[in-house]
């Protein structure tokens, strides 16, 4: 299945859309170039034979001390009863002023809105063109991203001990 999808994307979206195919692990995955992510997702949602109509989850992984993040998209096709994992590898932006960026897929699947806000809030992944990218779990004035491996808990928050 993954090879057919890879070939379709090479032919119909862009030859550089798929960076690599991950065959190891519990589920195969396609590594997608960030520039083509929205086009790939739109194709997979709208094309007969694929019809990935449900985005079940978006998550992010911090590969610290290696200098990169991965954003992982879990897609399902309800009519065809298939699942697909897409991954986007991003260079790590460790400062609060230079976050790793990936295009938002909220224009493709509405559920991405909340998943992307969570990945932004907890991992510091910036989703370009997101309609309302702001914190969803942490207070608006919280500094840092608590699920990053290099995150340091503050001693206090508004004079309240955190630890």
Residue 20, number of CB atoms within 10 A of its CB? 13
Quick one: pLDDT band at residue 106, thresholds 50, 70, 90? very high
Predicted pLDDT at 80: 94
Question: pLDDT per residue over 50-97, tens digit each?
Answer: 999 999 999 999 999 999 999 999 999 999 999 999 999 999 888 878
Predicted pLDDT at 100: 96
Domain boundaries, the chain: 2-161
* Residue keyed to tokens 């938002």: 104
Average pLDDT in the chain: 93
DSSP for 72-104, written as a single string = EEEEEETTTTEEEEEEEEEE---STTS--EEE-
CA distance 98 to 82: 37
2-161 in CATH: which number? Answer: 3.30.460.80
Average pLDDT over residues 140-159: 92
């Amino acid at each position: 299945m993954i090879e057919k999808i890879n070939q379709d994307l090479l032919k119909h979206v862009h030859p550089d859309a798929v960076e690599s195919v991950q065959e190891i692990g519990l589920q195969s995955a396609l590594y997608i170039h960030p520039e083509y992510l929205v086009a790939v997702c739109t194709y997979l949602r709208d094309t007969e034979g694929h019809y990935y109509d449900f985005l079940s989850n978006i998550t992010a992984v911090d590969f610290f001390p290696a200098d990169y993040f991965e954003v992982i998209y879990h897609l399902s096709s309800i009519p065809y009863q298939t699942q697909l994992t897409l991954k986007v590898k991003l260079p790590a932006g460790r400062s609060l002023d230079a976050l790793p960026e990936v295009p938002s897929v909220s224009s493709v699947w509405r559920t991405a809105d909340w998943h992307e806000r969570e990945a932004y809030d907890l991992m510091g992944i910036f989703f370009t063109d997101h309609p309302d990218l702001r914190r969803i779990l942490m207070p608006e004035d919280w500094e840092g991203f608590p699920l990053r491996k290099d995150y340091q808990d503050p001693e206090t928050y508004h004079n309240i001990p955190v630890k």
